[in-house]
Amino acid sequence: DPKDAIRQGIAGGEVTFKRYEEGRMQEHSMHNIRLKLTEDDAADWAIFGNYSNLLEGLRRCRDEYGVTRLTCNFYNLPKDSTARRDWLQGFGEEVIARL
């Protein structure tokens, strides 16, 4: 369910953002990261869907915004470790390798 993934993304973001704020990790050379997420504007801060959707979103980040490095957080991965590994391998083959 996309709404569940968005809620999980917000919860995960809040944990990460707390670490950024507490550790003063926003470096001057970095793009100023966003430290507040909402469900209403999820399309502005998340890329979600199948491998094709992810590839399209990451290409857009690269081509339109000049992103050369990023950190990914994945939500709603399969619970089974074999299925999770298969999904991540597919991500590498279908998305990363094509960038």
- Average pLDDT, rounded, for the chain: 83
* 8, 11, 12, 13 alpha-carbon torsion, rounded to 10°: 120
20-43 per-residue burial string, b: 16 or more CB within 10 A, e: under 16:
eeeeeeeeeeeeeeeeebeeeebe
pLDDT digits over 22-64, tens only?
777 667 676 666 667 777 877 777 888 899 999 999 999 999 9
Statement: the pTM of the whole predicted model exceeds 0.75: no
